[in-house]
Structure 1
Amino acid sequence: MKPLNIKREVERLSNILGKAEGCLDIRELSARIQYLDQVIGQANFWKNPALGYQILQEIEYSIFYKHQKYQRWYSILEDIKAAVELLEASADEQLLQETQTNLNQLQQELETAEIRQLLTDPNDRKGSLVTITAEVSDANAQDWAYILLRMYYRWAERHNYLLYVVEESCGDVAGIKSATLEFTGRYAYGYLKSETGTHQLQRISPFDVNSKLHPSLAKVEVIPISEESVELEIPEKDLQITKWCWNGQNINSSEIWVRLVHISTGITVFCDQQRSRMENKQKALVILKIKLWALMQAQSVQQLAAIQPQPINTLSNKPIQEYILHPDKNVKDFRTEVATTSVAEVLNGEIDLFIKAYLQQQNQTVGVSKEVFNNSQ
């Protein structure tokens, strides 16, 4: 990038930071810190650990982090401006490369901030469970499900999320039949909720000796991980528990998987990644509670018994995104009409383009208008 182009990009980023500064009321933040310090100092502060943890998070992320993050961005931008002035006076290849690196870093971080300001739902800050399911039992669909799993894994790496595989059911020939991933970290649900739906792949099948063009479908379900779900009490009579056995007898075996079914709703959880059958059962129960809590919120009910039974497969078969590898290369989101020919990059986890467009569309739909820095913690 030439110094002139860098200068233009610096002007754009300066405008973004100017908006952020307008949202950052130092006096208000200082007053809030003083108030929270008084709350922390009260003798009964830790009588409610959940509330205490939330207050500490607010201090760390919503106040100090905001201010420090802004100061860092401002400092990087000023360094870039100074470097541009030097480059305009005299060419310096090393300085140009350093400036470009700093600019790329600032662009990426402000891009993340711009997306986060769109995350206004209370659930957006939570972790998430992502379940990927091959639509049909053939090698193409199961391989496609695995490609999606790998895509989300690499996206998590890029954004420093902790990713844990809850369960993974291998395909008959290749890929996976299904998998459930647990993303731990702030805003994981807010980012990934846009992925809920059916994803379609079109390519020359690597499993077809005639090299025919094959469409493949896989469904992705994303739900928030709510701390409140821990409090749910599920009666034993409402659960169907399946464990591996041989001729009806439980024996010592490497098969330690556990499947839980909530009878009234049909919600099923399978866990096989823990070290023992007991740990798999405990993990399956945690996941089941998370799914039931999400269903309670969706149906606006307060009691577990009030949940209305629903079909197990509730996602539409109509694709939300299409990934074309032949004859042309293209990825398109049918909801936002956003598309790119950078298919390899998308499948390597670079999906923020689609996430941002979806969130912008949703915010426009509900009439939400926020400044960049409101939620950039």
Structure 2
Amino acid sequence: MAQPNFWANPHPAYETLQEIEYTIFYIHKQYQRWCSILEEIKTALELLATSPDEQLLQEAQANLAQLQQELETAEIRALLTNSDDQKGAFLTIKAESDDADGQEWAYILLKMYYQWANKHNYQIHLLEESGGDVSGIKSATCEITGLYAYGFLKSELGIHQLQRLSPFETSGNLRTSLARVEVSPILDESIDLVIPDQDLQITRWQWHGQNINHPEIWVRVVHIPSGITVFCEQERSQLENKKQALAILKSKLVAIALAQGVKSIADIQPGEIKSLSSQIIREYVLHPYTKVKDLRTKVETTNVQDVWNGDIDFLIKAYLQQQSYMTVEKSS
């Protein structure tokens, strides 16, 4: 707002002020809620000091756990300062191999993010899923809507590695499986991003005749310059699938442009796209010991099952704190 041209265009200026107003209102409401929960816990402790009550104790413990979770979430949100952080997210998971272990691993990650989204009361909608040959999935794309979904999930971009004894083999050998996670923000409809028609290859299922009871409605969109492919099949019509596929494609292109530090999608370097999500960021070990370790922050835990149940906020927080610290270091 301190920029001289901030007031030159009233519409974006008004939207910025609305966002600030909402943020202040949201923080105030949250603070009131936390104070109320804290008072309930204090009252319960005073009552328990004079008269033991198992039900009251359980309620107090539940309130405390809830308060701690909400304060943890608020602390993470304080680290999210980029303009896209408040947006929802498109999340894509891809098995890096065609074997059953790799495809099962991709499915485990998909379930992990579903449970994480549910814990945060986010809406999650499956846009595309390609089933595995024996088990699991080859790939899946989800739309996760809710405040700060992208800000949280951008920490998950990269390769996730699993080490375990294969449940699909009897050899007893260790298997290492890899799955790629891609994350991009859901763009506002007001963002006018035009992709030239000549840069797009759109494939639809074609049917002929009058007796098709269940016509396929999938749509595949390829961005020719970058090679990015998006496939959608979960919407009710081909038109809706095409619209969703283009929305995901634009989201991915914007995220790539930001990561590469270029101002236009026309300036994206195709050769550098895959490297953005090719780093192994986290390892999950089930044998000969149990451990989840983030290779960027070195934060780890031995409770793999909790992580797979969606308890990944401590990993997200550590990464965001690291990025915040690095940003401060660069600017100083």
Say whether the fold is shared (TM-score over 0.5). yes
> Which residue among 122, 135, 144 is the counterpart of 1:161?
122
Residue 12 (structure 1) aligns with: none
1:188 pairs with 2:149: yes
> What are structure 1's unaligned runs of at least 5 residues?
1-46, 369-377
> Which residue among 291, 303, 307 is the counterpart of 1:342?
303
CA contact (8 A) 1:266 1:312 kept: no
* Cα distance between partner residues in 1 of 2:282 and 2:176: 13
* Cα distance between partner residues in 2 of 1:94 and 1:305: 62
CA contact (8 A) 1:244 1:250 kept: no
Residue correspondence of structure 1 range 260-299 to structure 2 within 5 A = 260-299=221-260
Residue correspondence of structure 1 range 101-140 to structure 2 within 5 A = 101-140=62-101
1:152 pairs with 2:123: no
* Cα distance between partner residues in 2 of 1:269 and 1:57: 31
Residue 6 (structure 2) aligns with: none
User: Closer, same or farther in 2 for the Cα pair 1:347/1:242, shift >3 Å?
Assistant: same
CA RMSD for the aligned pairs? 2.5
- AA matched with 2:68: Q
Residue 360 (structure 1) aligns with: 321
Residue correspondence of structure 1 range 52-131 to structure 2 within 5 A = 55-59=17-21, 61-131=22-92
> What are structure 2's unaligned runs of at least 5 residues?
1-9
In terms of fraction of residues, the more helix-rich structure is: 1
- AA matched with 2:148: Y
Q: Higher relative contact order by CA 8 Å / sep ≥ 6: 1 or 2?
A: 1
> Which residue among 327, 347, 351 is the counterpart of 2:288?
327
Residue 139 (structure 2) aligns with: 178
Aligned residues: 319
Residue 31 (structure 1) aligns with: none
1:69-119 Cα offsets, whole Å, 9 max, x none, are 212212222332333334334434333222222211211111111111111
User: Closer, same or farther in 2 for the Cα pair 1:317/1:66, shift >3 Å?
Assistant: closer
Deviation at 1:203, TM superposition (A): 1.4
CA contact (8 A) 1:239 1:261 kept: yes
1:305 pairs with 2:230: no
Deviation at 1:128, TM superposition (A): 1.1
- TM (normalized to structure 1)? 0.77
- AA matched with 2:194: E
Deviation at 1:122, TM superposition (A): 1.8
Deviation at 1:300, TM superposition (A): 3.9
- AA matched with 2:205: W
Secondary structure of the residue that 2:317 maps to in structure 1? Answer: helix
- Which of 1 and 2 has greater Rg? 1
